[in-house]
Amino acid sequence: MADADDVRRLALGLPQAVEIDSDGFDFRVDNRGFVWSYPERLPGKPRVIRTDVAVLYVGDEGEKQALLLGEPDLFFTTAGYDGLPLVMVRLAEMSVERLAELITDAWRMRAPAGLEESLREG
């Protein structure tokens, strides 16, 4: 079972990852987001930052659909994310090991060319 502290530890363990100021968590590399708290928006209600759900960059629609269809207990999306390469992750249902893989993959896709070498060297 993973939580927001695990997201923070894993994200900040990656080269040049920074956390920007937010009500939850929001991690970027080269000013490009790779994992952040889910800003839930329900009709007629104010936005609520959910730190029990992470939004994760997955790169493309194919990967997004594979996760959503293959593991609907772990991953979901909303209409606001239609057409975007992002999925929401239920942290309480996710192992820390799997979360580490997903965050690292998201970071790799968002990091500038050449920065991945520093991950392999570390």
Q: Nearest-5° angle of CA 30, CA 31, CA 35?
A: 100
Flag whether pLDDT at 79 surpasses 80. yes
Q: Counting Cβ atoms within 10 Å, is residue 79 exposed (0-12), middle (13-18) or buried (19+)? A: exposed
Quickly tell me which residue has 């790799």 as its tokens.
Answer: 108
Residues 104-113: tens digit of each pLDDT: 999 999 999 8
Flag whether pLDDT at 62 surpasses 80. yes
The model's pTM is 0.91
Report the topology of domain 4-112: Aspartate Aminotransferase, domain 1 (3.90.1150)
Flag whether pLDDT at 119 surpasses 90. no
